[in-house]
Amino acid sequence: MHYEGSRGGCVCSFEEALFSGLAPDGGLYVPVVWPSLTPSAISGYAGSPYAFVAHDVIFPFLGSCISKNEFRVMVEKAYSGFTHPAVVPLVQTGANDFILELFHGPTMAFKDIAMQLISGLMDHMPCDSGRHKTLLCATSGDTGAAAVEAFRDCQNMDLFILHPKGRVSEIQRRQMTTVKEGHIHNIALEGSFDDCQRIVKTLFSDCVMRERFCFSGINSINWARIVAQVVYYISAAASLGAPHRKIAFSVPTGNFGDIYAGYVAHCMGLNIERLIIGTNVNDLLTRVLRTGVYEVQDVIATQSPSMDIQLSSNFERLLFDLTGRDSSCIAVMMESLKLYGRFVLDEALCASLHHLFCSYSCNEEETVWTMKDVFRRTGLVIDPHTAVGVKAARSARSEGAVDVDTVLVTLATAHPSKFPKSVRAATGIFPDLPERVSDLYAEEERYEVLPNDVRTVSCFIETQSRRIRY
Ligand SMILES: *Cc1c(COP(=O)(O)O)cnc(C)c1O
């Protein structure tokens, strides 16, 4: 399998896409063709173990970099640490409504699903004859925690995690900062998540730094993150009767990685009726669908901090596909975004977007109200991010964007105990931390506060990196 950059040029292998994260011109990698799944393959996944489906779905994307058997062992290992035997269980909340719980991994958010696998892949493929690697990670809270868990045993690399200071929940912060391993370095940046992401992207595009430190990125701009997330769309759909039953997904969205994985599943042959984007008041995507204008505004802090994002990087991958893979058109849009903070989608592009997607935003009161209402009706305690997804699912149903007899699955992206204050305020229930993480509050924290400035961050990396100098 080969990969191409969304802004043109650069065709590469899976390994190269895995380790470089971002194409040299700032574009994002996508496979040159979509592997396809037949209807009988999809229906055959019903009742299969998650690891089996994961192996089958992901393997065609990998090329020749790993054997089938080695990959089988890797996938088994990645999902062995999940506390639910189904890995991603479905919970029924209405006649045709389901919640897909993606939070049974080690850090209790859906980021574990991809991160547990990507650490195995990176460990398996020593890039550049085993040079010491430096991983960069910008996080709005959950990615960093998942990365710490996934990479804590990988001593042959340094991992630098940038989170926006004071804008992640206490549990999210402690999951990152109480780690003892010396190869993991936490930076609390005086800025927003978008600032963290911008700094990471800037460091990447600095060829000298990139070469010297052998940088890799593990944000969802990394293709390997996306591909691991395609699996649960397919496994959930199969167990609910696809392809014979119509299916739609509602996805609480920030960087557009998770829902884009749903789009990939659709392209591979899973016939999805609709993909519903749920945003909090940082509603860039809802505005794009309504107006056709992609325009970045200031980030507002909410009780669903993992979606406090105004620049949804993976949207570029979708646009690339919807323009018929017109990389020069994408390059022009991204240049406009860089220069003016906005670009405009033409009519044809808007139409193809509306063909599959719809988008709804959810303000803070609606988030609280939805958590409360779901608890009252079903007894289920959901976290604020999931509530944004549920609200969007309900709006889509009531506006007729989804047929009444279509199965509608909302992705539950975090365990409620990660956001105990909001959950208690809404439901009166204080969700206890699962036992495996209950000692978080006793551990000492370790992190460096840095100003929102690329140079300071790059100096910090310089001094802290344990890379063997040569
Ligand atoms: C990361 C995250 C999201 C948003 O996912 P994207 O892939 O960035 O759209 C939603 N909910 C939770 C809990 C998350 O951690």
Q: For the sheet with 29-31, list strands across it.
A: 11-12, 3-5, 29-31
**Which three-class secondary structure state does DSSP give residue 200?**
helix
Helix/strand/coil for 167: coil
* 372 has catalytic annotation: no
pLDDT bracket for residue 130 (50, 70, 90): low
In DSSP notation, 367-411 reads: HHHHHHHHHHHH-----HHHHHHHHHHHHHHHTTSS-TTSEEEEE
Which residue out of 111, 133, 165, 391 is catalytically annotated? 111
Burial class (CB in 10 A: 0-12, 13-18, 19+), 2: middle
pLDDT of 359 reads: 98
The whole-number pLDDT of residue 446 equals 95
Is residue 163's pLDDT more than 60? yes
From 110-114, 294-298, 349-353, 432-436, the region with the lowest mean pLDDT = 432-436
Output the CA 466–ligand 1 centroid distance in Å: 31
Q: Quick check: CB of 420 below 6 Å from ligand 1?
A: no
User: Per DSSP, which regions of 310-468 are E strands?
Assistant: 342-344, 357-361, 407-412, 448-451
Distance 252 CA to ligand 1 centre (A): 7
Residue 470 has pLDDT above 60, yes or no: no
388 lines ligand 1 (CB under 6 A): no
Ligand 1 mean position to 253 CA, how many Å? 6
Q: 22 pairs with which residues across the strands?
A: 28
Q: Is residue 308 within 6 Å of ligand 1 at its C-beta?
A: no
pLDDT digits (tens, 9 = 90+) for 363-388: 999 999 999 999 999 999 999 999 99
What is residue 455's predicted lDDT score, i.e. its pLDDT? 96
Q: 101: Cβ below 6 Å to ligand 1?
A: no
Please give the share of the chain, as a percent, with pLDDT higher than 70: 98
Neighbours of 128 (CB within 10 A): 10
Cβ of 254 closer than 6 Å to ligand 1, yes or no, is yes
Q: Which of 176, 302, 307, 415 to mutate to test the pocket of ligand 1 (most atoms within 8 A of CB)?
A: 307
Does the pLDDT at position 238 exceed 90? yes
Q: Which residues contact 150 (CB under 8 A, 6 or more apart)?
A: 112, 115, 116, 118, 119
- Cα 386 to averaged position of ligand 1 atoms, centre (Å): 10
Q: Could you tell me which of 441, 439, 422 has the C-alpha nearest to residue 430?
A: 422
Residue 61 has pLDDT above 90, yes or no: yes
Smallest CA separation from ligand 1 atom 14, residue: 306
Whole-number pLDDT of residue 469: 45
Q: How far is the CA of 143 from the centre of ligand 1 (A)?
A: 8
CB atoms within 10 A of CB 249: 30
